[in-house]
Amino acid sequence: MSKLLVLSHYQAAQLLEARRLGQSTAIISPDLNLSHTKADIGAQAVSFPDGRAVSWEAIEEIASSPNACFVLREDGLQRIQAFSPLTNRLCSLMPTAQAPTLLIGGFPMHRIKDTDPTQDTLSKIRTLKPIVGRVLDTTMGLGYTAIEAGKTAAAVVTVELDPAVAEIARLNPWSQGLFNSPKISVITGDSREVILDFPEGTFSRIFHDPPNFSLAGELYSGTFYRELFRVLSHRGRLFHYVGSLESASSRRILPGVIRRLEEAGFRQVRPRPEAFGLVAEKTG
C-alpha cells in the first residue's frame, strides 16, 4: 500500500512559487508537514519520487482551498471530507501550519488560535503525566491524544462514535499511528455503551474530551461520570476538557460539571486553564 500523499494550500503555494521562479525541483512535504521530499517541477505536473504526479490544474485548486486537505487516489485528487448521518454535519480535514485539525459542521475540534493541534494535544497530555498503565480516550477524533499517550502508556483504548470521523482519520497522515501501533485499540461505538464492558479499575488515566455541551450533553451526565469513576483505578486520574474556563459557556456549565464529578466519587477536582479543562482523581 502506497504511503498517503496529502497536500494543502501550504504546499500548493510553495509549488506554484517554485514554478514562477523557474525552479526544476522543490523541497515539499507530501504528508502535511510530517516529512519532506524533493518534487520535480514539470511543465504539466509536479512529480514525486515514487512516480505519482499532480497536475498544475489540481495544484491551483488546492491553493484556492485554504480550509481543505486533498489526498491523491488512483482515480485522482480527492478532498478529505465525509458527511456524517449521525450528526447531519460535514466532517473535513483542515490544514494548519503544523498538524491538521478536524472540522465538524465548520467548527475546529482543536484549539488553533495562538496555538496548533499538536500543542493543544500536548497541553492535555501534560495534565495527567506521567502517562502510565492503561489509558482510555473516550472521544478519538483524529486520535492525537491516543497517539501521544501511546508513547509511554502500556496500552491505549480510544473510542469513536462517528464512522465519518474515523474515515477522515484514516486519510490523515498525522493519524496513522492509530492504525499501526500495537499499543492502540480503536473501538467504533458510543462511549456510554462501550464503557459498560470494561471491568472496574481498568484504566490508570482517562482523557475525556467531548464535543461541547450543546452537542453531547449526555457525555457530561452524572451517569457517565459514574462509569468513568468505576473504570478508573485507585489513584487514577481523569482529564475532562470543557473549553476555555473564562468563556461564558464554560462558566455556565462548570459548576454542574464539578458537582457531578464529585457526586460520582472524584476528588481533588482542579481547574487546568492552560488545557481548557479539569483534572480529577479517584482516591476512594
Q: What is the mean pLDDT of residues 4-31?
A: 97
Burial 8-31 (b: 16+ CB within 10 A, else e): bbbbbebbbebbeeeeeebebbbb
Query: Could you tell me the three cell numbers for 33?
Result: 508537514
Distance, in Å, from the CA atom of 143 to the CA atom of 74, rounded to the nearest integer, reads: 26
Query: Could you tell me the three cell numbers for 65?
Result: 482551498
Confidence of residue 1 (pLDDT cuts 50, 70, 90): very low
pLDDT at 111: 84
Of 182, 199, 192, residue with least CA distance to 147: 182
φ/ψ of 118, rounded to 5, equals -65, -50
Condensed to tens digits (0 to 9), the pLDDT of residues 164-195 reads 999 999 999 999 999 999 999 999 999 999 99
Query: Could you tell me the three cell numbers for 85?
Result: 448521518
Highest mean pLDDT (candidates 96-105, 152-161, 203-212, 243-252): 152-161
Tell me if 278 sits within 8 A of 258, measured CB to CB.
Answer: yes
**Cis ω before 66 (30° cut-off from 0):** no
- Residue at 39: amino acid letter: A
- Beta carbons within 8 Å of 60's beta carbon, 6+ residues apart: 12, 16
pLDDT at 281: 98
Distance, in Å, from the CA atom of 15 to the CA atom of 38, rounded to the nearest integer, reads: 11
pLDDT at 95: 97
* Of 202 and 213, more confident: 202
Is it the case that residue 94 has pLDDT exceeding 60? Answer: yes
Question: If you search the block for the grid coordinates 482551498, which residue do you land on?
Answer: 65
Condensed to tens digits (0 to 9), the pLDDT of residues 216-236 reads 779 999 999 999 999 999 999
- Beta carbons within 8 Å of 69's beta carbon, 6+ residues apart: 6, 7, 8, 32, 79, 80, 92, 93, 94, 95, 100, 172
pLDDT at 2: 65
pLDDT at 212: 76
User: Can you list the alpha helix ranges (DSSP code H) found in the chain?
Assistant: 9-20, 56-63, 117-127, 144-149, 163-170, 177-180, 191-194, 222-231, 248-264
Highest mean pLDDT (candidates 107-111, 148-152, 244-248): 148-152
Tell me if 184 sits within 8 A of 147, measured CB to CB.
Answer: yes
Looking at domain 111-281, what is its CATH homologous superfamily? Vaccinia Virus protein VP39 (3.40.50.150)
Is it the case that residue 102 has pLDDT exceeding 90? Answer: yes
What is the β-pairing status of strands 101-104 and 89-94?
Answer: antiparallel
Confidence of residue 108 (pLDDT cuts 50, 70, 90): confident
Is it the case that residue 211 has pLDDT exceeding 80? Answer: yes
pLDDT at 284: 65
pLDDT at 109: 86
pLDDT at 250: 84
Condensed to tens digits (0 to 9), the pLDDT of residues 116-149 reads 999 999 999 999 999 999 999 999 999 999 999 9
Confidence of residue 115 (pLDDT cuts 50, 70, 90): confident
Burial 81-108 (b: 16+ CB within 10 A, else e): bbebeebebebbbbbbebbbbbbbeeeb
Of 194, 191, 141, residue with least CA distance to 169: 141
pLDDT at 100: 97
Q: Which of 21-30, 31-40, 204-213 has the lowest mean pLDDT?
A: 204-213
- What is the location of CATH 3.40.50.150 in the chain? 111-281
pLDDT at 83: 95
pLDDT at 195: 98
246 CB neighbour count, 10 Å cutoff: 9
Q: What is the mean pLDDT of residues 267-283?
A: 96
Query: Could you tell me the three cell numbers for 218?
Result: 449526555
